[in-house]
A and B are shown apart, each in its own frame.
Chain A
């Protein structure tokens, strides 16, 4: 399997504090990798470096073989190949669900309105929200907003999708539908990196678990390995905490 995402020697400091202290990992095509770890371990920062929303202090990120850090790389062209879903959804409040999805299709891909809307409606349909196309974000529940956000990323036909705690801001009864969409994406062969605390989902959907602590990856393996027989003391502590 060729790796679709490859992170090498990634470091990130804020002020004098080093948040990421040398991260190396790769994600194969169609793989679903879950990144877990205690808060403050650098999971979100690591994810945000994977599309350079956060500028790494050192190291390299390759997506589909292209070095995101290379000066010759058109980062905007690469970013539409890297879908991102945020904890706070970040839908544009002044646009309808349809408008949220069509914006990048029109501005980045230069699609004419009609074509963009057709693509957007298909994407909204995939997340089960075609009938909400004309609604503004404020008229949607959190779970619906997050699914629109997924459709927004999906419509650009990304090679890989990054999920930054996609269900953390949701009421428990709304989590299921979002995870359902992610399950569908997995079934359709989407490559995904997910930072999340949804351990049950991690257990039965993830191909691999990456455990981070203090800005480093201290353990990784299949869910059975990491949850069943954690090796590193920090991972053991974390898993024990979860099963309490």
Chain B
């Protein structure tokens, strides 16, 4: 047995690939569904919170800031475990995939709020002045003038953070969500071989490389001729 054969049998054993491919594929389907759901709700909630914060009502902003800081500080795994194992004691039973979606959405929302917010405040105050001086409301100035400029600045950090948070769908494995990581680790335990984990790794690359490409496409789309 050559070194190359040993490597192949340890990480990419053909018969194991064949045996566990359906499991990994179903894991991909679950991961994709949760990832898309997390991106949609997380970014939407993050943007909504940043917009609310732009109105500058102190009583509203205080809880927003507390939420953002707490969820940026907590490891997502801790929150997932607390929600999944804690809430049933209060009679609240949330299915594991929903827990994963909910927690990761909140984490992404917290980071996204902060990114959108820093984008909003990086737009020069004169832009607000000009828009408001022509009679535009706060909302109209935000939507037509400030947000288009802010989002353009936000796209790169937002792409990075979105990928970082959605990769955390792998944490679903600890509460039994049948996503890629869960399928990979159970197959690894059954087979005693790292091949299913390699398959999982390849699956993650296949999912997230296009997301990175999408991010840079959006960056180009939002660019305009700079002064």
Residues of A within 8 A of B (CB): 48, 51, 53, 76-80, 82-84, 86, 88, 90-94, 103-104, 107-108, 136-139, 149, 152-153, 156
Q: In B114-135, which residues have CB < 8 Å from any A CB?
A: 124, 126-127, 129-135
Residues in B with CB closer than 8 Å to A91 are 130
Do A156 and B134 touch across chains, with their CB atoms under 8 A apart? yes
A78 to B136, CA, bound (A): 11
Whether A107 contacts B144 by the Cβ 8 Å rule is yes
B146 closest partner in A (C-beta): A92
Please report the C-alpha to C-alpha distance between residue A79 and residue B129 in the assembled complex, in whole angstroms. Answer: 11
Given contacts A76-B137, A108-B135, A138-B227, contact A86 B149 (CB under 8 A): no
Chain A residues whose CB sits within 8 angstroms of the CB of B127 once the complex forms: 90, 92
Q: Is B140 an interface residue (CB 8 A)?
A: yes
Q: Knowing A152-B134, A153-B134 are in contact, say whether A93-B129 is a contact too (CB < 8 A).
A: no
Known contacts A90-B129, A92-B127; decide if A80 and B135 are in contact (CB<8 Å): yes
- The answer on a CB contact under 8 Å between A53 and B135 is no
A137 touches B134 (CB 8 A): no
Q: Could you tell me if B144 and A53 are in contact, using CB atoms closer than 8 angstroms?
A: no
User: Which of A51, A82, A108, A139 touches B136 (beta carbons < 8 Å)?
Assistant: A108
Query: Once the chains are docked, how many angstroms separate the CA of A153 from the CA of B137?
Result: 16
A86-B134 contact in complex given A93-B149, A103-B145, A138-B225, C-beta closer than 8 Å: no
Are B135 and A136 neighbours in the complex by a CB distance under 8 Å? no
Q: How far is the CA of A80 from the CA of B135 in the complex (A)?
A: 5
Alpha-carbon separation in the docked complex, A78 to B134 (Å) = 9
Point out the residue from B129, B148, B225 that lies within 8 Å of A86, measured CB to CB: B129
What residue in chain A is nearest B222 (Cβ atoms)? A94
The smallest C-beta distance from A73 to any residue of chain B, in angstroms, reads 13
Q: Is B224 at the interface (CB under 8 A from chain A)?
A: yes
Please, which residues of chain B bring their CB within 8 A of the CB of A83? 133
Please count the residue pairs between chain A and chain B whose beta carbons lie under 8 angstroms apart in the complex: 76
Q: For residue A77, which residues in chain B have a CB less than 8 angstroms away from its CB?
A: 135
18 new A-B pairs (CB below 8 Å) besides A92-B130, A92-B131? A48-B129, A79-B134, A79-B135, A80-B134, A83-B133, A84-B133, A88-B124, A92-B127, A103-B131, A103-B134, A103-B144, A104-B134, A107-B136, A107-B140, A108-B136, A137-B227, A139-B225, A153-B134
Quick check: A92 and B134 within 8 Å, CB to CB? no
Of all A-B residue pairs in the complex, the 7 with the closest CB atoms, nearest first, are A80-B135, A104-B134, A90-B130, A90-B126, A84-B133, A138-B227, A108-B135
Among residues of B, the one whose C-beta sits closest to the C-beta of A137 is B227
Neighbouring A residues of B152 by C-beta, 8 Å: 94
- Which residues of chain B come closer than 8 Å to A153, judged between CB atoms? 133-134
Give CA–CA (A57, B78) in the complex, Å.
Answer: 49
Q: Judging by beta carbons under 8 Å apart, are B148 and A94 in contact?
A: yes
Residue pairs across A and B with Cβ atoms less than 8 A apart, 23 shown, are A76-B136, A79-B132, A80-B134, A84-B129, A88-B124, A90-B129, A90-B130, A91-B130, A92-B130, A92-B131, A92-B149, A93-B149, A94-B149, A103-B131, A103-B136, A104-B134, A104-B135, A108-B135, A136-B225, A138-B225, A138-B227, A139-B225, A156-B134
Mark B142-185 against chain A: 1 for CB-CB distance below 8 A, else 0.
Answer: 00110011001000000000000000000000000000000000
Q: Give chain A residues whose Cβ lies under 8 Å from the Cβ of B140.
A: 107-108
Residues in A neighbouring B124, C-beta threshold 8 A? 88, 90
B226 interfacial by beta-carbon distance below 8 Å: yes
A90-B126, A103-B144, A107-B144 known; A79 and B224 CB under 8 Å? no
Cα A91 to Cα B130 with chains together (Å): 7
Task: Return A41 CB to nearest CB of chain B, in Å.
Answer: 20
Given contacts A137-B227, A138-B227, A139-B225, contact A53 B136 (CB under 8 A): no
Chain A residues closer than 8 Å to B137, beta-carbon distance: 76
